[in-house]
Structure 1
Amino acid sequence: MSPLNVFLLVVMTISAILTILLILAHSGKGTGVSDMIASSMYNSAAGSGVWEKNLDRLTVITAVIFVACICIMALTFPLGTI
């Protein structure tokens, strides 16, 4: 396995774990983990606050990184080159 594939596996693992944690932190219908932890930081009755918007952005970024790593790994896995 080439150094590129090892690097991609590490980045993919980190982004997968972060994506899972960020998805679990989203609030669903007022029963999410983010409501339990940070309920005093923003008003949950006022809709989506700054914390929720940043959580959305971070989730999308980590998911895109994860998908990009999978696509690059699919192209380069056996030899580490395209």
Structure 2
Amino acid sequence: MNQVALAFWSNFYDNIFDHPERPSKDVVDNDELLDQWVEEQAKKMEERTNKNAQGGKTSSAYDHEEVITFEQFDEGINEES
């Protein structure tokens, strides 16, 4: 049971430290502040998900100026005998 708990909390803190909007050390060291930060991030994610589900703009490869497409090429078609 202790190994499972250790793995869970290690993964939890790894995710916190890898987050692009990583909280300050003071927040990480304070359990209550860290819980609030996690809740805020969850709300942000839910809002983004809801916005996208309601027709918000989503990004696509075709939204960019240049798009590379790949076509299947049959070598035997264009070869001269």
Give the TM-score normalised by the residue count of structure 1.
Answer: 0.37
* Larger proportion of helix: 1
Structure label with greater radius of gyration: 2
Give the TM-score normalised by the residue count of structure 2.
Answer: 0.38
